[in-house]
Amino acid sequence: MTAVPARPHRQSVSRSAVISHDGWMTGCSVADISVGGARLLVSGSVTVPDQFELQTSLSGNLRRCRTVWREEGQVGVEFVDWV
């Protein structure tokens, strides 16, 4: 039987951020974050791209992201390096 890897610890945060892709931008909130990804809260009418850059207001760091799942007003993302 194959062991299931432990899910990285997620830290609850409440941080404003900006999603951007090819000149398109929208605000969001980072609800929780881990080493490998985050859960973002967005306006229900916003369609988040499959790949984008996320910049948090607290640190100003820019992270490249890939959308993993979408749910009403929420988006799960994985932090990635684009080739």
Per-residue pLDDT of 36-54, as tens digits, reads 999 999 998 889 999 999 9
Query: Which residue segments constitute the domains of the chain, with CATH numbers given?
Result: 12-79 (2.40.10.220)
Residue 20: other Cβ atoms inside 10 A: 15
Residue 35: other Cβ atoms inside 10 A: 9
pTM: 0.82
Which 3 state secondary structure label does DSSP give 36?
coil
Q: Please, what is the average pLDDT of the chain?
A: 87
Q: Which pLDDT does position 4 carry in this prediction?
A: 54
